[in-house]
Amino acid sequence: MSRLNLDDFSDLIERPDSGVRRDAEERRERLTVPSGALGRLDELGEWLSAAQGTVPVKPIEHPRVILFAGDHGVAELGVSARPAGSAHTLVRSVLDGAGPVSVLARRLGASVRIVDAGLDCDPELLPEDVVRHRVRRGSGRIDVEDALTVEEAEAAVRLGMRIADEEADSGTDLVVLGDLSVGGTTAAATLIAALCGTDASVVTGRGGATIDDLAWMRKCAAIRDALRRARPVLGDQLELLAAVGGADLAATTGFLLQCAVRRMPVILDGVVSSACALVAQRAAFRAPDWWLAGQLSGEPAQSKALDRMALNPLLDHGVTVGEGTGALLALPLVQAAAALAAELPERAETEGDRAED
């Protein structure tokens, strides 16, 4: 098998249908509720119409939460409030229905799928349908070594692509994307700093489980050291993911690219999914047209990534828990936009309208 070239996605991904979007905008002008009165919901409804290729927009009936899970060796440095190698406990919490995303998903009617790309635990601790995709056990310590081999990075990207195809083929019409990781925000911040050409201190945040000042300084130092390793491979997205990403981040990147190929819209969650989206944008500049930024988590790296992609977050509630929770909170807004765009009546045609025609 020849090596995967992420730049090839640029030729595979098209933008949502601009003609359909114009039709949706024209229909919006004919509705009984004045144009602009629904604020950003109008924009969301028109974006969905273009993504679906239909006017009026269809309701969101099969939303799916996809969570890529992995452990990162850099967590050994004490850059996270959670112990290194403990991401499987987050996975177990979600599977048991005790995680925030589990509670919200039940309430909002969204199903949840967890994909183990690189957890550092015995496979017997989790169900087979979660662990069977694992690329490797944990990712390397990115401040001193590669997270993955290039071959493992390619395998992880291809894993993400397969998951996207499976979801598209099964009828998923909107993805809520998140992560279950320990040390993942350190790798994500490194990717964003490398791609945005900024310093470690500018992108270092407190992570999903808020860390103290000493841990923040350790995290900043780890990102600084990882950046030195990232900069020489900036020209190759696959080598970049191998050097300072991780199996879960590489899989998420492949997933996002293939979702855009399959014309399946995605709501991004926090800094991890935003970092993967930024890598994907470097490979295919049209890909971000298929994504929504669900929330602003307060992580400085996420803000830089979203600015670079020109994505305006739907919510800003400071949700840092991860698990796709913040993005899932945005799902009702997207569903509401679809319902309003589809179900509000058009105003009756007047004599003036007929005269103009």
| Catalytic-residue membership of 152 | no
Tokens of 257: 């690219």
* Cβ neighbours of residue 216 closer than 8 Å, sequence gap 6 or more: 204, 206
DSSP state of 17: -
Q: What is the C-alpha separation between 287 and 177, in angstroms, rounded?
A: 15
**Cβ-defined contacts of 4-7 (< 8 Å, 24+):** 4/154, 4/157, 4/158, 4/238, 5/238, 6/157, 6/237, 6/238, 6/253, 6/257, 6/280, 6/283, 6/284, 7/237, 7/283, 7/284
Q: Which of 154, 183, 165 is nearest to 1 (CA)?
A: 154
Q: Which of 240, 299, 238, 243 is nearest to 268 (CA)?
A: 299
Q: What is the C-alpha separation between 104 and 99, in angstroms, rounded?
A: 9
What stretches of the chain show up as alpha helix (H) in DSSP?
9-12, 18-29, 40-52, 87-95, 100-108, 128-131, 150-170, 184-196, 200-203, 213-230, 237-244, 247-261, 271-283, 300-309, 325-343, 351-356
Selecting among 299, 323, 349, 356, the annotated active-site residue is 323
The structure tokens 């690189």 sit at 118
- The dihedrals phi and psi of 180, each to the nearest 5 degrees, come to -130, 95
Question: Which are the catalytic amino acids?
Answer: 323
